Amino acid sequence: AQKITQTQPGMFVQEKEAVTLDCTYDTSDQSYGLFWYKQPSSGEMIFLIYQGSYDEQNATEGRYSLNFQKARKSANLVISASQLGDSAMYFCAMTVHSGGGADGLTFGKGTHLIIQP
Amino acid sequence: GAGVSQSPSNKVTEKGKDVELRCDPISGHTALYWYRQSLGQGLEFLIYFQGNSAPDKSGLPSDRFSAERTGGSVSTLTIQRTQQEDSAVYLCASSPHGTATNEKLFFGSGTQLSVL
């Protein structure tokens, strides 16, 4: 079974600074996908960025980038120029293929990010 | 609708009662997932539907939990004889196919269940 570890329960960051949220994963599958979701206080999960296990380049989506280090099984999220609206819970997640069909996303416990003015 | 819709948004029930939670996925999405999020925790996978069938029920925590999906669309999660530890936010998500590792999930806003 796969596992996601997020070691930062909470972070305080000054507005406009860059933020790195840590995520490590464990799986024996060779084919997998890594995701980051944002959950603001409203509760809805918002997709941010995706990285495939065979992708050679790090994924980027606007201010979000994913620092993918496959050998270390690490998939850290980097938010550049943080904004007050970035304050939320952030979840790292993965999905794998095992014998056909997609398993449900496995989520980490999340990091509560607070951006301070 | 444009997104995943869940109802009710909040449900307060007494211990021992049965509850039904509803999820209406994005039209055309064949894959549907249920997750549970306890306070301060990550999301716990419950069940996955591909069309009307549920190839993966491994996450259901006990036989008090069941789910069905009819017409490849709406899904209902039923919790029988609710216990206080069932209190959580129940999130539903859908995706177009559910068979690819790069397929992102679209989430509803969840049902906050409180068992007194």
User: B104 or B115: whose pLDDT is higher?
Assistant: B115
**Structure tokens given for B11:** 């449900």
Chain A residues 13-72 with CB within 8 Å of chain B: 31-33, 35, 37, 42-47, 50, 52-53
Tell me chain B's radius of gyration from C-alpha atoms: 13
Residue of B nearest to A112 (CA): B40
Residue corresponding to tokens 């679209």: B106
Q: Enumerate helices (H) and strands (E) in chain A, giving the number of each.
A: 0, 12
Nearest to B31 by CA among B97, B101, B91: B97
- For A43, the closest of B55, B89, B104 (CB atoms) is B89
pLDDT one digit per residue (tens) for chain A, 117 residues: 789 999 999 999 999 999 999 999 999 888 899 999 999 998 889 999 999 999 989 999 999 999 999 999 999 999 999 999 999 999 999 988 664 444 678 899 999 999 999
Residue of B nearest to A31 (CA): B101
According to the model, what pLDDT value does residue B2 have? 79
Residues from B contacting A (CB-CB < 8 Å) are 31, 33, 35, 41-45, 48, 50, 55-56, 59, 89, 91, 93, 98-110
pLDDT band per the 50, 70, 90 thresholds, residue B55: confident
